[in-house]
Amino acid sequence: MKRWLWLCLLAIGLGLHTQAQSVEVIKIDRLEKEIARREGVVVVNFWATWCAPCVKELPDLYRVYQDFQARGVQLLLVSLDFADEQPKALALLKKKGIALPTFLLDETDYNAWIDRIEPRWQGAIPMTLIYRNGQKVAFIPGPVSYASLVTRIQEQLNP
Amino acid sequence: MKKYLFTLLLLLPAALTWAQGYKPGDKAIDFKLKNIDGRHVSLADYPEAKGFIVVFTCNHCPFSKMYEDRIIALDKKYKPLGYPVIAINPNDPKKQPEDSFDKMIERAKEKGFTFPYLFDETQEVARTYGATNTPHVFVLKKEGKDLIVSYIGAIDDSPRDASKASKKYVEQAVDALLNGKEVEVKQAKAIGCTIKWREM
């Protein structure tokens, strides 16, 4: 019995450690579904490897996620790099130690989908959205900091 | 106290325009900004123009760079027809040193810009127009003394490969204006770099 318990713990431990970075190339329909199906507070951040302020804030976003993960906060990173640059996005996440499954949105006819995500958004990145149970509760154009994001998340966790 | 109130009242319209920016159909303001040749340029310096292709762009942004050749092509095609390109760099060089005035001069030389490349040092023009990205285009049409915003947004729908563009938004807008027609697509969004605003 004890042995089983140990094995279980080991499996869980390994499971946690093997949650590695991935960058799945997706289309807009799938992204909308991914946002809608998630419960709790979800931070959706649009970034790209070529965008310096985006890359700069990634560690802060990840730290917020790590600090609030236990309270059900999820982080959805959406790269807007071109699809053939997926390896570049993956390498960057690895370098930054961001161990998360993430997406690359392969939709370059931007005008066709930007308004579906957020009508107030003009398309500049970085851009961050916060959802609670599938409902959009915050639109943050431009860079975010650890502190400002924590404030926003706490507003949603303790309304 | 009264003094503060007065300042607040003064700032209010500015704050409102900043939040809103222009919409198609709005009247745009003229400006006077320093060009890379050291002279100041305003739209009033072009009495013969029928309108303008105002492009907020910069040196450092990869999306701006992808469009530089297309911006030059727009100027070459439309300047003789009365719609010259006026490029404006709105970025704070303290935040992005690559977008300094000196670097603007360098970049314009490297690329052989055929149009003025102006520095919006106070960022007032970008705020008033409601520019948020680079590159971000505003096509203006002259109507008497007024400048009417006729198109806002992206240059086309194919940032990386000009030859694959199927919707050439700016060209379609200017062509319509030149033919005395209504611009069909008055706004089109695209991904770009955020304008680097100064810390206030």
Q: Of the candidates B126, B123, B130, B120, which has an alpha carbon nearest to the alpha carbon of residue B187?
A: B130
Does ipTM surpass 0.85 in this model?
A: no
Tell me, what DSSP letter sits at residue B29? P
Work out the average pLDDT over B56-82. 97
In chain B, the domains with their CATH numbers are 22-194 (3.40.30.10)
Q: What is the pLDDT of residues A7-25, one digit of tens each?
A: 555 555 444 444 688 999 9
Compute CA distances A116 → A48, B74, B168, whole Å.
Answer: 19, 30, 21
Q: Of the candidates B42, B67, B69, B72, which has an alpha carbon nearest to the alpha carbon of residue B133?
A: B67
Among the partner residues B96, B158, B195, nearest to A108 by beta-carbon distance: B158
Q: Give me Rg for the CA atoms of chain B.
A: 17
pTM: 0.87
Nearest CA in chain B to A127: B194
A133/A121 Cα distance (integer angstroms) = 21
Would you call A122 and B160 a contact, using CB atoms and an 8 Å cutoff? no
Cis peptide bond upstream of B135, omega within 30: yes
Chain B residues with CB-CB distance to A143 below 8 A: 194
Interface test with B, best of A51, A55, A122 (most B CBs within 10 A): A122
Q: What is the pLDDT of residue A155?
A: 94
As a whole-number percent, the residues of chain B with pLDDT over 90 amount to 88
Would you call A142 and B191 a contact, using CB atoms and an 8 Å cutoff? no
Work out the average pLDDT over B130-137. 97
Chain A residues with CB-CB distance to B96 below 8 A: 52
User: Does B106 have pLDDT greater than 90?
Assistant: yes
Q: What is the pLDDT of residue A17?
A: 47
Architecture of the domain whose range is A20-157: 3-Layer(aba) Sandwich (3.40)
Residue A159 pLDDT class (50, 70, 90 cuts): confident
